[in-house]
Amino acid sequence: MSEYKKLQNGSDIRGIAIDGIDGEKPNLTPKEANHIAAGFAKWLREKTGREDVTIAVGRDPRVSGPDLLEGLLQGFCKEGIQVFDAGLASTPAMFMATIFENVRAGGACEGSIMITASHLPFNRNGFKFFTKDGGLDKKDIARILELAEEDAAKGAGECDPRPAQVTDLALMDAYCVHLQQVIRTGVTDGSTGAPDVAAAKKAAEKPLAGMKIVVDAGNGSGGFFAEKVLAPLGADISGSQFLEPDGMFPNHAPNPENREAMESISSQVIKTGADLGLIFDTDVDRSSAVDEQGREIARNSIVAMAAALVSEDHPGTTVVTDSITSRQLTEFLENKLGLNHLRYKRGYKNVINKAIELNRAGTDCQLAIETSGHAALQENYFLDDGAYLAAKIVIRAARLKQEGKPISSVLADLEDSADEKEVRIPIRTEDFGAYGDQVLSDLKDWVKTQDGMTLTEPNYEGVRIDFGDGWCLLRKSLHDPILPMNMASDEAGGCQAIEKVMKGFLKQYEKLELEGVL
């Protein structure tokens, strides 16, 4: 495999951008960025059939971002591309650069790039690519890297620093106004009404007046949501934390799946007496929340919350989720909300593409969401936009407050598993893909011979086993030589019994590293 192809991470490009962690040598530097930019420019011209394409570029606050930006600009300069620099931005906003017709004089851009590695450590970075059709797929990334490698082989030179065809783009200002309007319309359309004209005007201008909302940006790109979306609408954001961008992420990982991060915002909501807490990952394509009692709205409950938001306007719609959602979530979606639940594969592009496929086939699907916090709504271009989901949650919280109800009331009927756990089992062989496939095939056959457990069907990823009072899913990692195993039980401590059964089966495979894992 070529060095460029090694940078592919599904539908993104990711690599080590700077030194700082022992044993991790940089492989994504301005030099690689230069050639990748040339590859994207060529790919975009192939796709559009146009020579005069324009491209917007933004970045998260990682310390390697400015240097990678300069590398991209060199590559675009070689190709004669007009580039618009959005500066510090969010990933969803960079997609909107291909949609907003009024963001620049010439209309929307044909393509865009976000420089980010999501929640990964400070020394990593990468690129996410967009056109007006959405994020690119794996085959598109493979083609871009192929073209980048060809460009590198030619030894193509550089242009002058900050070439003339680079123009600053006030994208985030336009994006924040867009989100403000989403919230303003959502709250006022659902309002119970104001007693007089003056009060109605005030409510329309400041629909979040009287609400206290804590935002935790984890020193990533998401601080704008508090300062430029919520505050102008009247919300009290004084309890918010870690809004200042800092690419070293000094307080906690900007990641709604991180235990320390969720504990931090939960305690802040309780401390400040807030109505709601919102937390984003680094580039704001994921979000989760905390209710007024400091309880997390994450993993299964963020799926339930998003589904509850769409169920009001789209009764009976289908919700596509990743593979590790709970039985209790399915019961909530189908029996409490009256929706259909399709449990599909891990990977945000997998769930989004499945939702799009269902709609094209005639099945109404309004929501594709991973338990990681990637949520894509049909009404928002099936874009996984953490800020848009946060805006929808804010709308519901504001409307409930008008009725004297808390945000926790939305999920009052959602039950939780009593015990949950994930373990990641390393596969110690070069041919880890085939080895993992064999383990899963054998497991499927073995379950059929056992009492007290059944296969969950249909199942689209790995092997999911129903233990009666719990479940287990063993699957292959999307990219790494690992077998992740997720399990949950209706009994406190019940995962220990599931682990014991699974270890009894897996210990026969000498290439699986179980010591210290199971």
Q: Which tokens go with 178? A: 């867009």
- Kindly tell me if the per-residue pLDDT of 65 is higher than 90: yes
Report phi then psi at 485, rounded to 5: -130, 115
Residue among 38, 31, 27, 17 nearest 145 (CA): 38
Decide if 5-169 and 171-298+386-407 have a common fold.
yes
- Kindly tell me if the per-residue pLDDT of 156 is higher than 70: no
pLDDT band at 205 (very low <50, low <70, confident <90, very high): confident
> Thinking of the domain 171-298+386-407, which architecture would CATH place it in?
3-Layer(aba) Sandwich (3.40)
Q: What is the pLDDT of residue 145?
A: 98
Please give the Cα distance from 286 to 116 (Å, whole number).
13
Residue among 116, 132, 135 nearest 124 (CA): 116
pLDDT band at 326 (very low <50, low <70, confident <90, very high): very high
Please give the Cα distance from 354 to 345 (Å, whole number).
9
Which residue bears the tokens 């009994």? 491
| CATH node for 5-169 | 3.40.120.10
Residue among 183, 194, 479 nearest 347 (CA): 479
Please give the Cα distance from 334 to 326 (Å, whole number).
13
pLDDT band at 189 (very low <50, low <70, confident <90, very high): confident
Residue among 194, 208, 204 nearest 396 (CA): 208
Q: What is the pLDDT of residues 370-380, one digit of tens each?
A: 999 999 999 99
Q: What is the pLDDT of residue 197?
A: 53
Boundaries of every domain in the chain: 5-169, 171-298+386-407, 309-384, 419-506
What average pLDDT does this structure show over 238-267?
97
198-207, 280-289, 447-456, range with the lowest pLDDT: 198-207
Q: What is the pLDDT of residues 271-311, one digit of tens each?
A: 999 999 999 999 999 999 999 999 999 999 999 999 999 99
CATH class, 309-384 region: alpha beta
Strands (E), 60-106: 82-88
Q: What is the pLDDT of residue 94?
A: 98
| CATH node for 419-506 | 3.30.310.50
Residue 184 near residue 202 (C-beta atoms within 8 A): no
156-160, 209-213, 286-290, 337-341, range with the lowest pLDDT: 156-160
Tell me the pairing of strands 166-168 and 82-88. parallel
135 dihedral zone (left: phi>0; alpha: psi -120 to 50; beta): beta
Residue among 152, 159, 165, 139 nearest 57 (CA): 165
Instruction: Please report how many Cα atoms fall inside a 13 Å half-sphere around the Cα of residue 359, on the Cβ side.
Output: 18
Which residue bears the tokens 């979606």? 333
Residue 398 near residue 207 (C-beta atoms within 8 A): yes
Q: What is the pLDDT of residues 70-98, one digit of tens each?
A: 999 999 999 999 999 999 999 999 999 99
**Would you say how long the chain is, in residues?**
518
pLDDT more than 70, % of the chain: 96
| 223: number of Cβ within 10 Å | 24
Residue among 497, 285, 305 nearest 393 (CA): 305
pTM comes to 0.94
Q: What is the pLDDT of residue 161?
A: 55
Instruction: Indicate the helix (H) or strand (E) that contains 173.
Output: helix 171-189
What average pLDDT does this structure show over 353-377?
98
Residue 75 near residue 95 (C-beta atoms within 8 A): no
Mean pLDDT across the chain, nearest whole number?
A: 94
pLDDT band at 31 (very low <50, low <70, confident <90, very high): very high
Q: What is the pLDDT of residue 85?
A: 97
Q: What is the pLDDT of residues 411-435, one digit of tens each?
A: 999 999 999 999 999 999 999 999 9
Please give the Cα distance from 441 to 451 (Å, whole number).
18
